[in-house]
Amino acid sequence: MDERKLEELIQEKKYVTLKRELEEMNVVDIAELLEELDVHTALLIFRMLSKDLAVDVFAHFSVEQQRNVIGMVTDKELKNIVEELFFDDMVDIIEEMPANVVKKILLHAKEEERNLINEFLRYPPDSAGSIMTIEYVDLKKGMTVKDALDHIKETGLDKETVYTCYVTDKNRKLEGIVSLRKLVISDEEETIEDIMDRDVIYVHTHDDQETVAGIFKRYGFLALPVVDKEDRLTGIITVDDIIDVIDQETTEDFQRMAAMSPTEEKYLDASVFSLAKHRIIWLLVLMISATFTGGIIRKFEDILQTVVVLTAFIPMLMDTGGNSGSQSSTLIIRGLALGEIDLKDAGKVIWKEFRISTVVGIALAIVNFFRIYLFDDVGALVAFTVSATLFVTVVISKVIGGILPMIAKKLNIDPAIMAGPLITTIVDALSLISLFFNSLLALKYLNEKLVFTRICKNQLYSYITYFSKSSLKSSDTFLNSAILFVMLFISSV
């Protein structure tokens, strides 16, 4: 059902039909559909939903929509929502809400829940403890399979998942896990101790959520137990929460690579001031760092005044260097995130990027030489100087782009920060230094060539003068003159 049909049913007051069609939809689609409506219409439809469906839809609302609903529903309606919410969803909502809304929610929560919420809020942001839930199936190893299945039937409705059950002792220490599949196919009289898996992979409450995401990806889990410092089972993390983590971390990486401070706000929901605040910090840093690049140009301004045409090629060199470095850094950052590359592979990365950059640099330099020589109306020496600089720039930028993210990881800095912003600044400076160094060599060559040509011309002039005054036509004179003509021709090329 689309928004247009929904509005038609509302206008025609076909509420029974509307409710029936909504109940056949997925909760995510219902939440998205209601987000498109104005707040009052959305609340009207929200109140039509059954209690369980309304709670599920509420959990999938955006933070802004949740805030609107909380502000407009009655205390009784809010109490019903709070009582039925999964614990991790409630914690997520509380973390996003302003203090006055949090106070209103906690007023309708049970005392035990309030204590747990306060405990959860003490976990560091982006830690395993901050995204776990306490609603899991807890079994004892002395139970029979029949007892365990009966226990799941009695309590499973309120649990986040029943596909994996956790075996703990009287002190809540994790002893093993058992899947629902194994319970179903096992004999009813077998004990949990006989069929449980003792080799349990788990995480601690203070482990980073990116580490948790890596474990989910590696082992393909649907849920993962979380223990405290004493190895007591504290909660579990389900795969749906990890998908959110992966989306969040990927978004943050892209934002950092684009020289922005990470923000969790959606683009259209965020204010202009908020977006500007997250962008301006890095832009200021890069603007100030560009002072170094400007200083290099001022240092070598004599060369630019001598060979003004070089100025036209500076943007191309800097852009190519930045793009080359970004290619390498993107691959290395992704490899580090997926665990495909480790810090001990730094030598391999440098060697591989050097070989890649050599191949790429030679190809670009050759094409660039003929492009400049044929179409830009400059001499071969300028074309060669710029192309040689391009080769050096590509090699340097790719090696730097490959190694900087690894240095960042070694220093416990997010490697994404080392991607676009820092690499571009470093490569810009190095490409300029390379250009001016090569230009100095070219000017030195030209100067030596001019001196050589002047000597040849003077010598040839003296021979011609001597020959014109002399009546003798010596073969030595002709030979020396011919040699000087050849030397003069070579020096003029």
The phi, psi pair for 95, rounded to 5°, reads: -65, -30
- Token pair belonging to 459: 């010598």
Average pLDDT over residues 47-53: 84
- pLDDT-derived band of residue 186, with 50, 70 and 90 as boundaries? very high
Nearest to 80 by CA among 63, 48, 61, 105: 105
Give 184 or 121, the one with higher predicted confidence. 184
Least confident of 101-110, 178-187, 209-218, 230-239: 101-110
Average pLDDT over residues 426-439: 79
Q: Does residue 488 carry a pLDDT above 60?
A: no
Q: Break the chain into its structural domains and give their ranges.
A: 3-122, 138-249, 272-436, 449-492
Q: Does residue 29 carry a pLDDT above 60?
A: yes
Partnered with residue 138 across adjacent β-strands are 166
- Give the pairing of strands 174-179 and 203-204: unpaired
- pLDDT-derived band of residue 306, with 50, 70 and 90 as boundaries? low
| pLDDT score at 490 | 46
Give 305 or 214, the one with higher predicted confidence. 214
Same fold: 3-122 with 138-249? no
Report CA torsion sign: 466, 468, 472, 475: positive
Give 161 or 307, the one with higher predicted confidence. 161
| pLDDT score at 274 | 75
- pLDDT-derived band of residue 261, with 50, 70 and 90 as boundaries? low
Q: pTM of whole model > 0.75? A: no
Q: Does residue 197 carry a pLDDT above 50?
A: yes
Average pLDDT across the chain, whole number: 80
pLDDT per position as a tens digit, 115-136: 777 778 788 888 898 888 888 9
pLDDT per position as a tens digit, 269-286: 677 777 777 777 777 777
The phi, psi pair for 304, rounded to 5°, reads: -65, -35
How far is C-alpha 488 from the geometric centre of its chain's CA atoms? Answer: 60
Nearest to 401 by CA among 361, 445, 354, 444: 354
pLDDT per position as a tens digit, 348-374: 999 999 999 999 999 999 999 999 888
Reported as type and span, the H/E element at residue 178 is strand 174-179
CA–CA gap between residue 189 and residue 191 (Å, rounded):
6
- pLDDT-derived band of residue 448, with 50, 70 and 90 as boundaries? low
| pLDDT score at 181 | 92
CA–CA gap between residue 185 and residue 3 (Å, rounded):
46
| pLDDT score at 378 | 78
245-254 long-range CB contacts below 8 Å, 24 or more apart? Answer: 245/131, 245/209, 245/210, 245/212, 245/213, 246/213, 249/209, 249/210, 249/213, 249/337, 252/414, 252/416, 253/333, 253/337, 253/414, 253/416, 254/416
| % of the chain at pLDDT higher than 90 | 17
Nearest to 452 by CA among 440, 444, 441, 464: 444
Average pLDDT over residues 437-452: 63
Average pLDDT over residues 394-419: 83
Q: Read off the amino acid at residue 268.
A: L
Q: Does residue 42 carry a pLDDT above 80?
A: yes
- Superfamily the domain 272-436 falls into: SLC41 divalent cation transporters, integral membrane domain (1.10.357.20)
Q: Does residue 225 carry a pLDDT above 90?
A: yes
- Superfamily the domain 138-249 falls into: CBS-domain (3.10.580.10)
Average pLDDT over residues 225-247: 88
Q: Read off the amino acid at residue 155.
A: T
Would you tell me how many other CB atoms lie within 10 Å of the CB of residue 331?
17
Question: In the CATH hierarchy, which fold is given to the domain comprising 3-122?
Answer: MgtE N-terminal fold (1.25.60)
Partnered with residue 133 across adjacent β-strands are 236
